[in-house]
Chains A and B, each alone.
Chain A
Amino acid sequence: MNNEEIIIDGPNVVHGGDTAPTDLHGHEHHEQHFVWKYIFSQDHKMISKQFLITGIIWAIIGALMSVFFRLQLGFPDSTFPIMEKFLGEWAKGGKLTPEFYYALVTMHGTILVFFVLTAGLSGTFANLLIPFQVGARDMASPFMNMLSYWFFFLASILMFGSLFVETGPASGGWTTYPPLSALKEASLGSGIGMDLWLLSMALFVVSALLGALNYITTVLNMRTKGMTMTRMPLTVWALFFTAVLGVLSFPVLFSGLVLLIFDRNMGTSFYLSEIFIGGKALPHVGGSAILYQHLFWFLGHPEVYIIMLPGMGMASEVLSTHSRKPIFGYFAMIISLVGITLLAFLVWAHHMFVTGMSPFLGSIFVLLTLLIAVPSAVKVFNWLTTIWRGNIRFNPAMLFALGFVSLFISGGLTGIFLGNSALDIHLHDTYFVVAHFHIVMGVSAFFGMFAGIYHWFPKMFGRFMNNTMGYVHFFITFIGAYLIFWPMHYEGIAGMPRRYYDYSAWESFKHFQGINAFISIVAMIVFFTQLLFVMNFFFSIFRGRKMTTLNPWGSTTLEWTTPIHPGHGNWVGEIPEVHRWPYDYKDDGHGQDFISQTTPLRPGEEAH
């Protein structure tokens, strides 16, 4: 087959000189205009880089916000003039105002949950890995894929812009419960900042849906010859279920947001009833503030798994590859993913045990919530068995995958407390919750993402990231995460509420001041360590050690059969055919300890 026929042409392609199909250094096959190649690209690899780099920028902004409010929490009596440089009037004299403290907390949550751990994580790895690992030249609809990124970009612009409006960004918490978020009189952040938040999130939902529909279609329709569903790597399975979760739950959030926009701007009363605020009684009667919570958490809970599943998939892949062993219980892993996906839709009200809901309904949600512990436990035991009697290579990717397992265990176990309504009735909205979800869907999901970045960086950029910096990054982040969040559990057990600006007036909580200061210091160290990662990332794109072999990790999956710098279309020549499952880490009879998916079964060999 001729080269030019294979490569998918973008607009304005000028075909350059022909290159040999075996050229591993991937000289440009054709010259594409800068705009079509790097900006409005329809190549899944470029779009994944766009998502990743946007995600990194958002992560720095979101993390910097946490540094600012940790300064307030750790040192409520001190002033930090440097904050005034960043925040201006909001930190006059170097002391955060309560309004902006709440705005920072809100934006930190929104940015990290949606912009980094949803778009930045699935956007990056679903785009990168689905076509590569199922053997497709690109997504089912590259154009929709491009739109998905640009809707995310628009959402980002609006959200970023909301930081600079006079009344400040949204400040009602990342969950933005009405009436607080619905009424301008209730809080400064419920002004124009909240409108921008809603618009931005609506665009974000559009982006998430465009992306997710594409991922699902690609997985179902674009698999290469021989790539049956049960020969797909667990990363693809995980990203597939992530997309399913997104498609089924994001529209519900969208409807919730639209109703909130109506309540804010058009005088409807979906969420408002019997309110006296700003010196007058409002005309709204008959709405229910709890309705919003149901709509929000119907997305909000699956969202947790939208964040967790890609990490689970990537950790499975990385653990298996770097311990040179097949993943243990491949089918059990898929079934537990199915279980988690189904249950994710049936547990949303465990965020609402103390809203006065019917105790009977509450008990159903307790049962369903604790059921999730079973597939989660299966996954953990399978990961542990995967590394058992392996030959473990501790490179940064593997370390982060191991850290992922450790943090997933720690954060998962505290979920057993919170999912049980009789315990939640005390622990709800305390620092126990903060510790729980930061460990499990914050740090743990980030660890999954880091494992993915270190592991697939050579595939993305044809170079390696620096190992030594990776080790420093891992150890400080891992130890730091436990130092920050472990003590928070105790504060939560003591009933210390979350989202407080200052605890000094509280007899029951003021003696935790020293611990809060300690947590803040560690948080800042961890923040700077992340900058080290960012530095490593960007320097390695240009200066990293070059990849000289196609398959540096000795991996079985298809992405490592593409050239070092794959063009648009991924494979030169025909797409490889798949003959076996993706975890054949065993002696291939030629001195290698793995067998690529493209290798036909040997005579007499069983197909897993």
Chain B
Amino acid sequence: MSVFIIITLIVLVFIIIYQISKASEYATVLRGQEKMNAQANRAIAWLLVIMFILGMWGIWECNELFKGRLLPKAACRTGENYDSMFNYTIAVTGFVFFLTQGILFWFCFRFQSTDKRTTFFFAHNNKLELIWTTIPAIAMAILVAIGLRNWYDVTSPAPANATVVEVVGKQFNWLIRYPGADNELGKRDFRKISDANNVLGLDWSDPHNQDDIISQNGELHVVVNKPVKLLICSRDVIHDVGLPHFRLKMDAVPGITTTLWFVPTITTAEMKKITNNPDFVYEIACDQLCGKGHYSMRGTVIVQTQAEYDAWMLMQQAYSIGNNPATPAPAETKPAPKTDSVKAVTMK
């Protein structure tokens, strides 16, 4: 019922606007085109000025509204570079924005049509053209220089001591594989994938796979201040590992392995204090439309101290246990992975 009332109201408003508009058109004809146009012109010029002032106030209000709701400070070094570069770019574009919008609305008001005004025939001026071709070119060159420095920094090869972790996207969650004790990820083959007992298609003939750990809850554990290199793949369609708190993003493409590396500098626990939010968590957001569950494809990054990480690692079980037919049954050999993990820890 309320829907019909709303529709009726909208229709009524339309009819009223239409009637007023037609009436003003007849009035224009009756009272003289010129006079009415001059009046309307003045009114519009003032409206534009008012709109501009309200717009500036609105920008201020919007800034206030979002203060403290944006991301906390970047949690890795390249992220800090990103933030400062973002601020430079905001400064340059902000200056141009206020300058040009100000000029636009000022000219509108200043040069509104009147009977007395004669226009200035001004068709071209090479000097002016040269100035405003060169200045943007120089500004862009500076932004490109800063941008490329950061770009090569972010995309540079990972340091040799980086922990390698594999992140594999599937509809609609993240599978994360740690190399285990031998510090090496074993071979995978998509033909060997089985949702029942081989989610990543580990090739059991490769001994490196024996101790690999697969976490299926989407938790990526990393050690603070230690470089981590992500090998990113997909099992089905294109996904994207989006790490907003680290200002990073990389597509997960089936058939292609992409990489991303960073050094987390703030642990999850520290960030909870910084943001004053006990529920704070670093999130992995899928940033490439991957199907109906795209919006729920959530992972988390747990940034820990080395000790916490080691303790967590101790509790993990190699994926081969219970899944590799060649590996003994899980119940009896429960301690086995633990020793593996201890070795993994001592190796680091």
Contact = CB atoms under 8 A, between A and B. Distances in A.
A309 interface: no
Interface string A158-189: 00000000000001110001011001001110
Contacts of B97: 409-410, 413
B45 interface: yes
A602 interface: no
Nearest to A425: B249
Nearest to A277: B236
B55 interface: yes
Contact of A273 (B3, B113, B255): B255
Contacts of A532: 14, 17
Given A183-B237, A363-B148, A399-B44, A325 B119 contact: yes
A420 B89 contact: yes
B18 A539 contact: yes
Given A276-B193, A487-B62, A425 B247 contact: yes
Interface residues of A, number: 128
B309 interface: no
B269 to A, nearest CB: 15
B312 interface: no
Contacts of B242: 429, 495, 497
Contacts of B129: 329, 332, 378, 382
B54 to A, nearest CB: 8
B255 A332 contact: no
B314 interface: no
B255 to A, nearest CB: 3
Contacts of B308: none
B333 interface: no
Given A279-B195, A290-B256, A373-B136, A393 B113 contact: yes
A393 B42 CA distance: 10
A33 B65 CA distance: 62
Nearest to B55: A482
Name which of A102, A331, A390 has the most chain B CB atoms within 10 A of its CB.
Answer: A390
A255 interface: no
Contact of A186 (B14, B100, B113, B171): B171
Nearest to B258: A356
Name which of A97, A508, A535 has the most chain B CB atoms within 10 A of its CB.
Answer: A508
A57 interface: no
B140 A371 contact: yes
Interface stretch (B219-227, B283-291, B317-325): B283-291
B295 A503 contact: yes
Interface string B302-334: 000000000000000000000000000000000
B289 A391 contact: no
A506 B300 CA distance: 10
B173 to A, nearest CB: 13
A466 B22 contact: yes
Given A409-B100, A426-B82, A608 B114 contact: no
Interface string A349-387: 000001110010011001100110110011011101101
Nearest to A430: B287
Interface in A382-432: 382, 384-385, 387-394, 399, 402, 405-406, 409-410, 413-414, 416-417, 420-423, 425-426, 428-430
B77 interface: no
B79 to A, nearest CB: 8
A51 interface: no
A340 to B, nearest CB: 13
Interface string A472-512: 10010011001100110010011101011111011111011
Interface residues of B, number: 119
Contacts of A371: 140
A544 to B, nearest CB: 9
Nearest to B291: A187
A179 B112 contact: no
Nearest to B47: A475
B121 A289 contact: no
Given A328-B123, A413-B96, A378 B295 contact: no
B198 to A, nearest CB: 10
B283 A508 contact: yes
Interface stretch (B66-74, B158-166, B202-210, B339-347): B66-74
Interface string B24-46: 11001100000001001100110
A391 B111 contact: yes
A469 interface: yes
B107 A388 contact: yes
Contacts of A359: 151-152, 155
A194 to B, nearest CB: 13
Contact of B111 (A99, A388, A502, A535): A388
Contacts of B86: 417, 423, 493
Contacts of B123: 326-330, 583, 608
A545 interface: yes
Contact of B17 (A275, A366, A387, A469): A469
B294 interface: yes
Interface in A503-529: 503, 505-509, 511-512, 515, 528
Contacts of B132: 377-378, 381
B235 interface: yes
A468 interface: yes
Contacts of A585: 119, 121
Contacts of A509: 285
Contacts of B216: none
Nearest to A103: B292
A73 to B, nearest CB: 10
Contacts of B125: 328-329
B133 interface: yes
A35 interface: no
B174 to A, nearest CB: 14
B283 A469 contact: no
Contacts of B147: 366, 370, 420-423
B93 A392 contact: no
A426 B238 contact: no
A82 interface: yes
Contacts of B258: 355-356
B117 A373 contact: no
A319 to B, nearest CB: 11
23 contacts: A81-B3, A180-B237, A180-B291, A186-B237, A275-B254, A288-B256, A289-B254, A329-B124, A329-B128, A356-B232, A390-B111, A391-B117, A392-B45, A394-B45, A394-B108, A394-B112, A410-B101, A425-B248, A426-B248, A429-B288, A494-B69, A509-B285, A531-B14
* Interface pairs A-B: 3 shortest CB-CB: A495-B244, A273-B255, A356-B258
Given A366-B151, A393-B41, A410-B101, 4 more contacts: A328-B124, A391-B113, A536-B21, A585-B121
